[in-house]
């Protein structure tokens, strides 16, 4: 039984560098006599089948290095008293204004909702009806009398609250829970709309005896111990100021009936009162709705909250953070007030009130920002940019692992956790390799090459400004490859440029020895015999980028060649052409332990560069293809429309056949134990 631990180390997606299947190698060269179109898996022909029963399963947990969290939900009575649950496992942490602390009492329970009336009255709800109450000094369990997952809580005051519970399944039902005094009870269990898994839901309670809830396109009203459905046109949420002023979008409840003051408005709802309310990009002043579309808010926001009429925050398309001020325009805000981070919003996904005059803006890239009317300040306020997407991974042993990524990110794993290590650069680091625990090499943009000697990281002279994308190291020898066919080799006397014959970017390199090295540029394969690089003649319209070998043969993206027969070892996606051009299968990482143990990341054809949907981890076991993980980190996104559809895994490496590591977007580190 295999297990995968997903470890969130940071943020930021990066453009894939690898692309392609279709090359067959052995230790002596390449089988160039075959027509690529006739090979299995090309132009409609299939390679090995998917396994009928996979022997690999994935159990996902989350660890947060460096004290940073990815917020699923949040509540706070002040900026110095904030509770959060983390994604995707919904651990619980508390922020006291300067540091995080973890709530160990909730181990094993996923917390989905947090709300309160103050620092000594906080409710946490989660899976299977789990409820906990914080009284200011201690956290204690409570009986919800429900077995459904508590998805939302609203607290009116001590001893007064409502909660909404449902399971993420089709054709289910929901529980409306009410707290009166010290006891929770189920006050309604009607049938719910279908497709509850991605169901938008909202809850508002104007009094301790009345509540409104929205589930997808249905509205329910509870009052005087009765719960019933109410017909409302196009509900997008629920917000109100009083029992006779409850809004659902373009319609409202006036205390007696549903009326429709607006038309064709959509989006989250927030306001300060009956004459100051936002619905998506529209502002309602009590008489007229004004559309403020534009200037950073071109479409309906996914979240909306503010501190005053002219101090409103929203999350726009692609997770950008935008601000509406006294100029009455929306302006995009550079996250963290640090333009050098290069991120504008960073795929934010939530805005939370954490005090009378303070908001938190959160996102799936370990980003939390505090806004109190001044600057947008990163939390923790260390001055360090948010952790970054990871592009390379390597290790000498289970307790000696390295992962590298954007903004010079370097993380070290000691077998129990990951910590960020001081880096000599802020340039993006793209690959890591080594020969021992005290001999590790990293390459990255602008000719960056770093070396670890067992004590610290130092920069090595590369004498190039080219972006370096891949590195392979053995005892006494290092090869780095990159843009415009750049090849740099170091035999212990410094890096020296070699003529590769390549003109395109070399994105992959692997070798058996200093006289047996392979490199690929996406379309061609190059071989170094210790004296010179030569280009291997291969069939036209092929793709070669990821390269890895074993003692008996070489894997080149989707194929393995053992010297006698080429075999397809990743899924096939015909056809492999678009508008007359070859479309490569996207494999962002390959690694092999043996001829019957080949791992690949991706397996999706990318027709357009923006179609960044590589999200699978595959294993070829010698007979069939197992999908080890698919859509592994979907829970980081509220919708597939914000940025890349799914986080992409970028690199994979095995300490041995029973201990593999994969890294990728969002700073994810997946540990595959077999």
Cα(377)–Cα(360) distance, rounded to whole angstroms?
9
Q: Where are the beta strands (DSSP E) in 514-614?
A: 516-520, 525-528, 533-536, 547-550, 553-556, 559-561, 566-568, 577-578, 581-582, 585-594, 597-605
- Tell me: pLDDT of 335 over 80: no
**What pLDDT sits at residue 491?**
95
Cα(408)–Cα(612) distance, rounded to whole angstroms?
23
Region 334-343: mean pLDDT is 35
Region 2-16: mean pLDDT is 40
Please report whether residue 397 resides in a domain: yes
Which tokens hold the place of 155?
């607290």
The lowest-confidence range among 17-26, 53-62, 445-454 is: 17-26
Dmax over CA atoms of the chain, in Å, equals: 88
- Tell me: pLDDT of 530 over 90: yes
**What pLDDT sits at residue 582?**
46
- What residue numbers bound the domain in which 639 lies? 3-60+387-413+426-673
Please report whether residue 667 resides in a domain: yes
- More confidently predicted of 390 and 449: 449
- Match 């709800």 to its residue by tokens: 125
Cα(18)–Cα(589) distance, rounded to whole angstroms?
8
Q: How far is CA 269 from CA 151, 252, 300, 303, in A?
A: 19, 12, 11, 9
Q: How confident is the model at residue 662 (pLDDT cuts 50, 70, 90)?
A: confident
Region 479-494: mean pLDDT is 95
- More confidently predicted of 230 and 574: 230
- Tell me: pLDDT of 457 over 90: yes
**What pLDDT sits at residue 26?**
31
- More confidently predicted of 318 and 427: 427
- Per residue in 601-627, pLDDT (tens digit) is 764 433 333 333 445 677 888 778 777
For the chain, first and last CA: distance in Å? 6
CB 518 within 8 A of CB 532: no
Q: How far is CA 562 from CA 1, 27, 275, 595, in A?
A: 29, 9, 74, 8
The lowest-confidence range among 76-85, 261-270, 546-555, 628-637 is: 628-637
* Among candidate residues 592, 600, 514, the one with its CA nearest the CA of residue 553: 592
Cα(218)–Cα(365) distance, rounded to whole angstroms?
33
Region 41-55: mean pLDDT is 56
- Match 């719960």 to its residue by tokens: 227
Can you spell out the DSSP letters for 12-69? -------------EETTEE--SS-GGGSTTSTT---SPBPSS-S---------GGG--
- Tell me: pLDDT of 23 over 50: no
Please report whether residue 564 resides in a domain: yes
- Spell out the alpha helix ranges (H) of 338-449: none
- Tell me: pLDDT of 400 over 70: yes
CB 625 within 8 A of CB 571: yes
Phi, psi (degrees; rounded to nearest 5) at 48? -65, 150
- Per residue in 187-212, pLDDT (tens digit) is 987 765 555 544 578 999 999 999 99
Region 9-14: mean pLDDT is 38
User: What is the number of domains present in the chain?
Assistant: 1
Please report whether residue 253 resides in a domain: no
- More confidently predicted of 130 and 37: 130
Please report whether residue 406 resides in a domain: yes
- Tell me: pLDDT of 383 over 70: no
Question: Residue 138 burial by CB count (10 A; 0-12/13-18/19+): exposed, middle or buried?
Answer: exposed
pTM to 2 decimals? Answer: 0.56
Please report whether residue 133 resides in a domain: no
> Among positive and negative, which fits the CA dihedral 382, 386, 387, 391?
negative
State the Cα angle at 186 between 185 and 189, rounded to 5°. 175
- Tell me: pLDDT of 439 over 50: yes
Cα(473)–Cα(519) distance, rounded to whole angstroms?
13
Q: Partners of 314 in the beta sheet?
A: 304, 322
High-pLDDT (> 90) share of the chain, %: 39
Region 370-389: mean pLDDT is 62
The SS3 call for residue 485 is helix
Mean of the per-residue pLDDT values of the chain: 76
**What pLDDT sits at residue 596?**
81
- Per residue in 308-318, pLDDT (tens digit) is 999 999 988 76
**What pLDDT sits at residue 154?**
97
- Tell me: pLDDT of 155 over 50: yes
The lowest-confidence range among 149-153, 171-175, 610-614 is: 610-614
**What pLDDT sits at residue 480?**
97
Q: How confident is the model at residue 598 (pLDDT cuts 50, 70, 90)?
A: confident
Region 427-444: mean pLDDT is 96
Which CATH number fits the domain that encloses residue 489? 2.130.10.10
Please report whether residue 335 resides in a domain: no
DSSP assignment letter at 667: G
Q: How confident is the model at residue 114 (pLDDT cuts 50, 70, 90)?
A: very high
Can you spell out the DSSP letters for 118-155? ETTEEEEEEGGG-EEEE-SS-EEEE--S--S-EEEEEE
Please report whether residue 105 resides in a domain: no
- Tell me: pLDDT of 648 over 60: yes
Cα(425)–Cα(413) distance, rounded to whole angstroms?
20
Which tokens hold the place of 307?
């501190």
**What pLDDT sits at residue 508?**
87
């Amino acid at each position: 039984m295999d297990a995968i631990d997903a470890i969130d180390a940071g943020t930021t997606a990066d453009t894939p560098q690898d692309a392609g299947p279709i090359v067959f190698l052995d230790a002596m060269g390449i089988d160039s006599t075959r027509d690529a179109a006739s090979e299995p898996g090309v132009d409609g022909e299939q390679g090995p089948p998917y396994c009928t029963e996979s022997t690999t399963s994935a159990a996902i947990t989350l660890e947060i290095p460096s004290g940073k969290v990815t917020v699923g939900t949040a509540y706070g009575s002040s900026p110095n008293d904030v509770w959060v649950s983390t994604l995707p496992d919904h651990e619980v942490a508390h922020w006291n204004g300067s540091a995080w602390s973890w709530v160990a009492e909730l181990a094993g329970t996923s917390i989905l909702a947090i709300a309160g009336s103050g620092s000594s009255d906080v409710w946490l709800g989660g899976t299977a009806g789990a409820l906990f109450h914080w009284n200011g000094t201690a956290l204690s369990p409570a009986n919800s009398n429900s077995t459904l997952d508590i998805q939302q809580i609203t607290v009116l005051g001590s001893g007064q609250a409502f909660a909404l519970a449902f399971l993420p399944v089709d054709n289910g039902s929901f529980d409306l829970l009410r707290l009166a005094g010290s006891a929770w009870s189920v006050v309604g269990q009607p049938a719910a709309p279908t497709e509850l898994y991605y169901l938008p839901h909202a809850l508002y309670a104007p009094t301790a005896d009345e509540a409104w809830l929205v589930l997808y396109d249905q509205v329910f009203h509870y009052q005087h111990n009765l719960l019933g459905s109410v017909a409302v046109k196009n509900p997008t949420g629920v917000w109100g100021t009083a029992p006779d002023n409850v809004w659902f979008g373009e319609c409202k409840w006036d205390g007696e009936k549903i009326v429709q003051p607006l038309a064709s408005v959509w989006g989250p709802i927030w306001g300060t009162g009956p004459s100051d309310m936002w619905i998506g990009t529209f502002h309602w002043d009590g008489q007229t709705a004004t559309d403020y579309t534009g200037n950073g808010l071109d479409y309906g926001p996914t979240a909306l909250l503010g501190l005053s009429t002219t101090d409103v925050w929203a999350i726009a398309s692609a997770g950008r953070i935008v601000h509406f001020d006294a100029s009455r325009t929306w302006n995009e805000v550079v996250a963290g007030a640090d333009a050098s981070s290069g991120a504008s919003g960073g795929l934010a996904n939530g805005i939370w009130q954490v005090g009378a005059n303070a908001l938190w803006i959160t996102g799936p890239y370990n980003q939390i920002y505090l806004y109190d009317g001044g600057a947008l300040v990163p939390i923790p306020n260390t001055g360090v940019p948010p952790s970054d997407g990871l592009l390379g991974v390597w290790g000498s042993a289970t307790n000696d692992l390295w992962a590298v990524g954007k903004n010079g990110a370097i993380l070290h794993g000691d077998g129990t956790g990951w910590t960020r290590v001081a880096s000599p650069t802020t340039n993006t680091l793209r690959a890591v390799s080594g020969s021992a625990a005290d001999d590790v090499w990293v390459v990255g943009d602008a000719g960056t090459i770093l070396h670890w000697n067992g004590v610290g990281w130092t920069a090595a002279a590369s004498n190039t400004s080219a972006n370096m994308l891949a590195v392979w190291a053995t005892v006494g020898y290092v090869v780095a490859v990159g843009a415009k066919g750049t090849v740099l080799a170091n035999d212990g006397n410094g890096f020296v440029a070699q003529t590769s014959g390549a003109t395109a970017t070399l994105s992959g390199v692997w070798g058996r020895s200093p006289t047996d090295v392979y490199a690929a540029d996406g379309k061609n394969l190059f071989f170094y015999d210790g004296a010179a690089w030569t280009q291997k003649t291969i069939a036209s319209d092929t793709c070669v980028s990821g390269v890895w070998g074993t003692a008996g043969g070489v894997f080149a993206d989707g194929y393995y060649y053992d010297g006698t027969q080429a075999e397809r070892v990743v899924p096939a996606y015909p056809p492999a052409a678009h508008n007359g051009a070859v479309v490569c299968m996207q494999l962002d990482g390959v690694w092999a332990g043996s001829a019957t143990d080949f791992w690949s990341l991706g397996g999706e054809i990318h027709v357009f560069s923006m179609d960044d949907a590589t999200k699978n981890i595959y294993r070829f076991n010698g007979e069939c293809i197992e999908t080890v993980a698919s859509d592994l980190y979907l829970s980081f996104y509220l919708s597939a429309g914000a940025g890349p559809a799914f986080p992409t895994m970028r690199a994979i490496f095995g300490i041995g056949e029973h201990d593999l590591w994969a890294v990728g977007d969002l700073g994810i580190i997946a540990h595959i134990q077999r």
